[in-house]
């Protein structure tokens, strides 16, 4: 669906996005993570066609942005970082205006409006002027305009910004539903949100892509933690000699070992070999389990240059 090659955007001397390459498949939800100023919004602006790249190429659904992005914008829903809302406008009028801008035919508009107001739960406020809306309602209105016309590509810059936990939960459920028929790229500062929602995560650090991985891959660990009753040098050596094991780090104080597995070795196959090795060496096995890598620690590693993938 999206093919970005060496995407770069300069603001004067600053490289806000610097040589970023990735591909995104259809109907996936991709989370963009990064510290403040990492380049997330700039990347999203380029994906939406709002901002031209300084260098690199972008092809979305077979359309190369270098030849214009009108065709993509017709299939796009975009919630920008700061959505321009007109305070005096009535909610329904604003959505009708947005629908007209998206080229939705007049006779289809009332159905389209009803659908998005229902999905974002703002039907009750449809006759309110926008200045009466709370932060949360404004955010929902922003999402409502983004999903008008059932876009195939949804770009959501912090969709749960300003929402309370229950509203965030509802917004996530809505995004999940939308992703059944759309590709979604969203940015967030909330790890748990990306963990719960996304199939893939792209981590930006100072404009560069520090990590591109599927959440499933991040969850499946290729490292096992072993604790025995009494560690020994001979056990360390025996573990290191196992063909399933790439490296062993031992912590004598704790009688524990961290075993990194060779590529493509399944943890359960390796666990059986390790347990056998421990028994064979005469040691007593206390625990043997995969090392958990939560998104928070992955993010920390990626943004401190210590990531291994």
Ligand X SMILES: Nc1ncnc2c1ncn2[C@@H]1O[C@H](COP(=O)(O)OP(=O)(O)OP(=O)(O)O)[C@@H](O)[C@H]1O
Question: Which parts of this chain interact with ligand X (CB under 6 A)?
Answer: 11, 14, 16, 34, 36-42, 81
Q: How far is the CB of 204 from ligand X (least distance, A)?
A: 6
State the minimum distance, in angstroms, from the CB of residue 214 to ligand X. Answer: 22
Q: Helix H segments across 88-134?
A: 91-101, 106-120
Measured between alpha carbons, how far is residue 131 from residues 84, 121, 247 in Å? 12, 18, 61
Closer residue to ligand X, CB minimum distance, 40 or 152 = 40
Phi (first) and psi of residue 215, to 5 degrees: -65, -35
Nearer to ligand X, 41 or 139 (CB): 41
- Which of 47/92 has CB closer to ligand X? 47
**3-state SS assignment for residue 211:** strand
> What's the closest the beta carbon of residue 41 comes to ligand X, in angstroms?
3
Where are the alpha helices (H) located in the chain, listed in sequence order? 40-48, 70-74, 91-101, 106-120, 135-147, 165-178, 191-197, 215-219, 233-240, 267-280, 295-302
Q: How far is the CB of 144 from ligand X (least distance, A)?
A: 22
Minimum CB distance to ligand X, residue 145 (Å): 20
Find the length of the chain: 309
In order of 4, 9, 38, 85, 205, the CA distances from 12 in angstroms are 22, 9, 16, 29, 19
3-state secondary structure of 58: strand
Nearer to ligand X, 43 or 148 (CB): 43
When the beta carbons of 37 and 282 are compared against ligand X, the nearer one is 37
- Token pair belonging to 55: 């260098």
Nearest approach, Cβ of 76 to ligand X (angstroms)? 18
CA–CA gap between residue 148 and residue 100 (Å, rounded): 10
CB of 281 vs ligand X, minimal distance in Å:
50
Helices 135-147, 106-120: inter-axial angle, 10-degree rounding = 140
Specify the residue, 17 or 270, whose C-beta has the smaller distance to ligand X: 17
Q: How far is the CB of 16 from ligand X (least distance, A)?
A: 3
The residue among 41 and 271 lying less far from ligand X, judged by its C-beta, is 41
Helix, coil or strand: residue 270:
helix
R_g of the chain computed on alpha carbons:
24
- The b/e string for 126-158 (b: 16+ C-beta within 10 A; e otherwise) is eeeebeebeebbbbbbbbbbbbbbebbbbbbbb
Task: Identify which of residues 40 and 109 has a Cβ nearer to ligand X in the complex.
Answer: 40
């Amino acid at each position: 669906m999206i093919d970005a090659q060496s995407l770069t955007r300069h603001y004067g001397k600053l490289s806000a996005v610097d040589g970023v390459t990735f591909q995104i498949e259809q109907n996936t939800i991709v989370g963009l993570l990064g510290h403040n100023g990492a380049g997330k919004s700039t990347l999203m602006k380029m994906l939406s066609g709002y901002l031209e790249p300084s260098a690199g190429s972008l092809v979305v659904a077979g359309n190369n942005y270098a030849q214009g992005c009108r065709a993509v914008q017709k299939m796009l829903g975009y919630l920008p970082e700061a959505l321009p809302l007109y305070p005096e406008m009535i909610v329904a009028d604003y959505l009708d205006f947005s629908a007209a801008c998206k080229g939705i035919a007049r006779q289809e508009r009332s159905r389209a409006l009803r659908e998005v107001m229902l999905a974002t739960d703002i039907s009750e406020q449809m006759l309110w002027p926008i200045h009466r809306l709370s932060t949360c309602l404004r955010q929902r209105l922003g999402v409502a305009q983004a999903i008008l016309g059932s876009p195939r590509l949804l770009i959501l810059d912090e969709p749960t910004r300003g929402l309370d936990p229950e509203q965030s939960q509802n917004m996530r459920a809505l995004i999940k539903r939308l992703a059944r028929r759309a590709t979604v790229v969203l940015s967030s500062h909330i790890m748990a949100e990306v963990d719960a929602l996304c199939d893939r995560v792209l981590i930006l650090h100072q404009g560069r892509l520090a990590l591109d991985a599927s959440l499933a891959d991040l969850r499946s660990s290729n490292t096992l933690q072993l604790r025995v009753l009494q560690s020994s040098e001979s056990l360390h050596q025996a573990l290191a000699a196992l063909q399933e094991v790439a490296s062993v780090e031992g912590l004598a104080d704790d009688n524990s070992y961290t075993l990194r597995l060779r590529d493509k070795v399944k943890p359960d196959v390796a666990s059986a070999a390790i347990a056998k090795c421990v028994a064979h060496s005469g040691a007593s096995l206390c625990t043997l389990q995969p090392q958990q890598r939560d998104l928070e620690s992955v993010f920390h590693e990626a943004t401190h240059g210590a990531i291994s993938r």
